[in-house]
Structure 1
């Protein structure tokens, strides 16, 4: 695997870490919603599921896109040979542009997921 500015900045090992982040966050969201419903917390607390749902979306998107937004912010990449610094300004700009886009997508997905959770709970409870 090779580093491609604005396209790919992590290899298989880093991808697996992002996948675990996504799965763990999704499980956390499910547990949070279950506890919130089981303990009859105020319905507005279901909106807080946006945070783990954002994490789940972020992990899944980074895994799928083979791109880490944190690495882009730090100006590094790791495609399997250890972290290396991005030295080219154009490559760094491309990475940061992709990072902003992925973050926006994760926020939108997390927000939409929280709306679905809230709406489903409101309809069922």
Structure 2
């Protein structure tokens, strides 16, 4: 990717790496949380709390995969550090609208994915 593309790419290699690491941390946090619920014998419904960690994990990995930062999209910014070293603000109204639409899509993907995985984790724990 050579540069910023509205609704398609607003982060470069360095920013993608940050989001990938944050996403992995979210998934590890979810696993640790579920393990703690099981270890301490807490009620099964506490597993539903893993949704927050899973949501964060999916937001991070989806931002990496799609090369698009949700916050930058909402704030009309881009940062292609590590790719073209170009960063700045988006001023074109159409580009801002496309970025915000893409940001909402990624958040929806993350919420649905986290909900499905949370439901699967809950079903698995209640089956124990």
TM over 0.5: yes
Distance in 2 separating the partners of 1:72 and 1:102? 10
The Cα offsets for residues 68-125 of structure 1, whole Å up to 9 and x where unpaired, read as 000011110001225300010100000000000000000000111100100001112x
CA positional deviation for 1:8: 0.4
Residue 48 of structure 2 aligns with which residue? 47
Residue 26 of structure 2 aligns with which residue? 25
CA positional deviation for 1:13: 0.2
Count residues with an aligned counterpart.
Answer: 124
Alignment of 1:49-64 (within 5 A): 49-64=50-65
Residue 104 of structure 1 aligns with which residue? 108
What secondary structure is seen at the aligned counterpart in 1 of 2:11?
A: coil
Give structure 1 regions of 4+ aligned residues with deviation exceeding 3 angstroms.
none
TM-score normalized by the length of structure 2: 0.94
2:77–2:90 CA contact under 8 A, matched in 1: yes
Q: CA RMSD in A?
A: 0.8
Residue 72 of structure 1 aligns with which residue? 73
Distance in 2 separating the partners of 1:33 and 1:82? 41
TM-score normalized by the length of structure 1: 0.96
- Unaligned runs of 5+ residues in structure 2 are none
What secondary structure is seen at the aligned counterpart in 1 of 2:7?
A: coil
- Unaligned runs of 5+ residues in structure 1 are none
Residue 7 of structure 1 aligns with which residue? 8
What secondary structure is seen at the aligned counterpart in 1 of 2:38?
A: helix
